[in-house]
Chain A
Amino acid sequence: MNEERRLIYHYLRHDKKFPHVWCPGCGNGIVLGSLIRTVHALGLSKDEVVLVSGIGCAGRLPVYVDFNTLHTTHGRALTFATGIKLAKPHLKVIVIMGDGDATAIGGNHLIHAARRNVDLTAIIVNNNIYGMTGGQSSPTTPHGLRASTSPYGHAEHAFDIARLVEAAGASLVARGTIYHVNLLDKLFQRAMEKVGFAVVEVISHCPTHFGKLNFLGDAVESMRWMAEHAVAVERAKKMRPEELQGKFRIGVLVDRDMPDYQSEYEKVRKRAMEGVPYRIDPQEISKMLESHQIY
């Protein structure tokens, strides 16, 4: 075994009955590999990592790895993760979701976890479709394309996950693909190091359903498409808008320092423990109102 395989082997659960559930060509294995390398690179112990998932193909990811793993309900992974993180702040809580999981049924939880800025790492594997249930359209299915529930072309418009969570208040927003694996390792690392809500959208594919329904070819072909259409953020800055037409940016899209929920709540605890009524002087109130920015 080479070093890479030995590393992955060390983190997998061997008492879990392999083979895994994913189709040939699926991107989830690449995401899992990247995740393991990142945890290893950061020197995190298996005991302090909690890997939480929702339902769907990506939701099956935690069962294979030797961390504290929690496979929750559809769309709700972030709510469980919030409870774990607030109860035991020293744990490194990583949440893995699919696009339907995170942005349809879990859309409300996603924006509120971002707004609260809970110190979590959220990985959203976006393959533009519901894979496990047979290729139905998701909130990221592009307009006009086909899905098993959009046989005449998808009538809706897609979410841009990165912009959604940026607007909702995430501290770090990044986008990678399953083709750019070295970059993905770095993005995962940045996200896990970030204090606050950090989101990595991973552009993936579903050759079984989305690829087949939309004549996108096999896994290799769709990864070639990713290679041709992804533009590093640094390079995108130097490109004209017309050059960026039809392309998407990868890299760290947003990185801002904001107090996370845990540290804010620590202040609440301190005030409560002191037992004196919380009073704000009127000048402070107007300052707080001014810093509450809306357009």
Chain B
Amino acid sequence: MGGEEERRPKLIQGNEACAEGAIAAGCRFYAGYPITPSSEIAEVLSYRLPAVGGTFIQMEDEIASLGAVIGASLAGVKAMTATSGPGFSLMQEHIGFACMAEVPCVIVNVMRGGPSTGLPTSPSQGDVQQARWGTHGDHPIIALTPWSVRECFELTVRAFNLSEKYRTPVILLMDEVVGHMRENVVLPDPSSLEIFDRVKPSVPPEWYIPYEDTSFGVPPMAPFGEGYRYHVTGLTHDVRGFPTLREDEIEPFMARLFRKIWSHLDDIQTWDTFQMEDAEICIVAYGSVARAAKRAVLEAREKGKKVGLVRLITIWPFCRRAIEEALKGCKVFVVPEMNMGQISREVKRVVRGRGEVLTVSKALGRLLTPNEILEPILEESR
């Protein structure tokens, strides 16, 4: 990309924007397995990556895909994969490995209806809690949800930056609407983007302790083959990377794994607000549903209802502060979702009885309408 030609508006899809964002973020390795509605990401990257000296490989399944991605990342190359629900289920094993071994990588899940084969390929937001808890064992996770084509690009870049900065897998939770929707957009100039690359060790190899705690909480990461020979494992390990069963080594490891995310929430969490200044009713939405929610806000305002929108961009860790701030003016929360109520649980957990949480939970394989979101609002204030 680059040049005047590229700065003109282009009619592109969310999936294409995601692929372009990956290239701009410095991703040079993609491994994946075909599944709609994410296939275009693979198709674009199979075309684009080799042209920039990168590698695209179609693997035998999604487990293999994320395995190859982690391998490439350990070798020092930014890597990603993309999938949808059934493939995301298969990837859980290696999401856990990437958390445990602290390997940066980006996993895109363009959500479609589930469970199982579900509704190919109609939109859904049914994998939100799976993104949080899908892999076994305790672990923090970062997940982002774009609502527009341009944001698919921006959040893909951000997903890479966060994964490199915090040595953690980052999940980009798109939905079928956002993935397939076409918008006329001007993508950011890649040279204007802030790109974060993982910190490499600055000490000589004999001083390198691969999983040593730092004040930031994220140890520098040496790529394979550059003289820093160390051990990487999915077993709980000590600071040198060697398996351990010792309590005095397990405890600091688990503490750091969580601390490196929880102590940087200001950097990780982002959300957007719309007409929240005087709002008494707050809609909490994310992804494509937030578009319908924004419309619902405008329509409610026309009817004289003081409604605002909190749009979650970082969906995990859950933006508690966004809700706390809304609680200053709002006593009613409406959470519309294309699932049976996965994020409304989180909103209820934060609100803790200090307000009412109404849900619009529909897993019907279609986008919610502004009217469906308005319904409980109009009933509430009747």
Q: Which residues of A contact B (CB under 8 A)?
A: 13, 15-17, 46-48, 50, 52, 62-63, 66-73, 76, 79-88, 90-91, 108-109, 112, 265, 268-269, 271-273, 275
Contacts and interface: CB of A to CB of B under 8 A. Distances in A.
Given A83-B71, A85-B71, A265-B55, 10 more contacts: A62-B231, A63-B231, A69-B229, A71-B231, A79-B59, A83-B69, A83-B79, A86-B55, A86-B57, A112-B60
Given A47-B225, A76-B67, A83-B29, A70 B74 contact: yes
A88 B64 contact: no
Nearest to B205: A47
Interface of B: 28-29, 31, 47, 49-51, 53, 55, 57, 59-61, 63-65, 67-77, 79, 93-94, 97, 223-227, 229-235, 240, 242-243
A86 B29 contact: yes
Given A73-B93, A109-B64, A112-B59, A81 B71 contact: yes
A15 B229 CA distance: 13
**Is chain A's binding surface mostly helix, strand, loop or mixed?**
helix
A3 B243 CA distance: 30
A76 B231 contact: no
Contacts, number: 142
A68 B230 contact: yes
Contacts of A86: 29, 55, 57, 68, 72
A90 B75 CA distance: 11
A91 B57 CA distance: 18
B293 to A, nearest CB: 40
B325 to A, nearest CB: 41
A82 B229 contact: no
B234 A72 contact: yes
B64 A46 contact: no
A72 B227 CA distance: 21
Contacts of B73: 83
A48 B225 contact: yes
A135 B282 CA distance: 59
B57 A82 contact: yes
Given A82-B68, A87-B79, A275 B51 contact: yes
Nearest to A63: B231
Contact of B47 (A81, A87, A272): A272
Nearest to A110: B60
Q: What are the nearest 9 A-B pairs in CB distance?
A: A83-B71, A79-B67, A83-B68, A272-B50, A80-B71, A87-B72, A71-B233, A87-B75, A83-B72
A15, A69, A80, A275 — which one has the most chain B CB atoms within 10 A of its CB?
Answer: A80
Contacts of B61: 108
Nearest to A109: B64
**Is chain B's binding surface mostly helix, strand, loop or mixed?**
mixed
A83 B75 contact: yes
Nearest to B50: A272
Nearest to A83: B71
B194 to A, nearest CB: 24
A68 B224 contact: yes
Contacts of B69: 83
A83 B225 contact: no
Nearest to A88: B75
A268 B50 contact: yes
A15 B67 contact: no
A76 B63 contact: yes
Contacts of B240: 15
Given A80-B67, A83-B31, A68 B57 contact: no
Contact of A82 (B71, B224, B242): B71
A85 B29 CA distance: 12
A73 B71 CA distance: 12
Contacts of B76: 87-88
Contacts of A13: 231
Given A79-B67, A109-B64, A67 B29 contact: no
Nearest to A47: B227
Contact of A73 (B72, B97, B223): B97
